[in-house]
Chain A
């Protein structure tokens, strides 16, 4: 459900910028320069207070509009703020969850997932109002009424156990990616392997893109029991390596201050070696 065309830049073909210039460009009369500058500040993780303040201000932009009433600059600013990791952005991102533009709401939910601030929980929960029955496709648009995937993932990452009963039914949502998000969040909120196994099972899907998403989910939740299934999945090695890296990091965090490397960590690395 990602906005088409988002994140399509690459650092190599971008015009060179400095942080100062990018911050200044956020107020350029040329809206395309603003849009680009917001992306650039996130991409290069410019974490200065000036950059954060300028991006927060850009969340209120009214100048840059699409034909359908979307807010491209707000979308990019919201995405960038997640990458910068400054909690100062949280209240403004929470406000964005009520923006009429679906993609602004989605970007805000994704960034709130990265910032993991419990202050976002109550508004995120509101976006699940109406449950699965309300989570239908918007006529003529390539997305659902709300960015359910991002909202559910954010609630899982933040550890919002109060949302468990609301998230649980989304495992039966007709969209497989929403099912994945629900399983992923349920695992994070309960640590019950039944949800990890549900994701592992989805690695058998015939849809390659979905298999890649599932790998990302398994890496994000650090479900170590999935390591071999990940290594054997029919997906490009780059995706498998990234998922196993997530699992390894999760493992290392849990073992802090114990003997240098656990058997599990070594097992994951051996699998990674085999995928090089």
Chain B
């Protein structure tokens, strides 16, 4: 057996929460693409410490993990799904755009929506061809502007974080600043208005 296979087996055999965290940390540290499916599976174990270690490991592996992350999204476990979306958001690969758009706009779980919303502002747009890039910008902007009107303050907060990142694109600055002004004037939540102020600094 390779070293990675040993480490994978240690994750499978961990019989306490603490052992699981340690095993996942070791597997993540191996930085071996062979570990990807196991690390994604950890999202479903309801062990936040292990999941955070798996997110870090997969994020470090980066682009190579994206196809499996996209394919293995757990439609039946929103806790696991939030970790997948968080990882995709951190890797910033624009192949995740469609999944992030759908999750941000329509997932029922706020944790999933917040992670996707933040991620939508931050993708590596330069990896897309120019015509594709324009369409992607437009879709991300429209979705974030719409989400910025959600009834849940935490979703609006996440929308501001996404829009702040998206405002680095010169063409998008004007509508984003206009929306920020509107939120400053009308949002009922002090915390949301403060986040707008921070985005404007």
A-side residues, CB < 8 A to B, are 234, 236-238, 241-242, 245, 248-249, 252, 260-261, 265-266, 269, 272-273, 276
Contacts and interface: CB of A to CB of B under 8 A. Distances in A.
B54 to A, nearest CB: 15
A191 B43 CA distance: 40
A248 B49 contact: no
Interface string B119-162: 00000000000000000000000000000000001100110010
A276 B103 CA distance: 13
A272 B157 contact: yes
Contact of A276 (B161, B194, B197): B161
Contacts of B194: 248, 252, 261, 265, 269
Contact of B190 (A234, A236, A241, A252): A252
A238 B110 contact: yes
B198 interface: yes
A237 B113 CA distance: 12
A135 to B, nearest CB: 34
Interface residues of B, number: 20
Given A238-B110, A261-B197, A261-B201, A273 B190 contact: no
Given A241-B154, A260-B197, A261-B201, A249 B117 contact: no
B53 interface: no
A241 B118 CA distance: 14
A276 B153 contact: no
B111 A236 contact: yes
Contacts of B197: 260-261
B26 interface: no
Interface in B4-62: 48-49
B198 A261 contact: yes
Contact of A249 (B157, B191, B201): B191
Contacts of B154: 238, 241-242, 245
A249 B161 CA distance: 18
A269 B77 CA distance: 28
A234 B117 CA distance: 23
Interface of B is mostly: helix
Contacts of A261: 194, 197-198, 201
Contacts of B88: none
B190 A276 contact: no
B195 interface: yes
A272 to B, nearest CB: 7
Nearest to B158: A276
A272 B155 CA distance: 12
Given A245-B191, A249-B190, A276 B198 contact: no
B115 interface: yes
Given A238-B111, A261-B197, A261-B198, A273 B118 contact: yes
B198 A266 contact: yes
Interface in B181-201: 190-191, 194-195, 197-198, 201
A258 to B, nearest CB: 13
Given A241-B154, A242-B154, A276-B115, 6 more contacts: A234-B48, A241-B157, A249-B191, A252-B190, A272-B157, A276-B114
Contacts of A249: 190-191
Nearest to A241: B154
Nearest to A244: B191
Nearest to A234: B48
Contacts of A260: 197, 201
B161 to A, nearest CB: 5
A272 B110 CA distance: 14
A252 B161 CA distance: 19
A261 B157 CA distance: 16
A88 to B, nearest CB: 24
14 contacts: A236-B48, A236-B111, A237-B114, A238-B111, A245-B153, A245-B191, A249-B190, A252-B190, A260-B201, A265-B194, A269-B195, A272-B157, A273-B161, A276-B118
A269 B157 CA distance: 10
A18 B117 CA distance: 34
A241 B161 CA distance: 14
B111 A237 contact: yes
A238 B153 CA distance: 11
A211 B71 CA distance: 34
B172 to A, nearest CB: 20
A238 B114 CA distance: 10
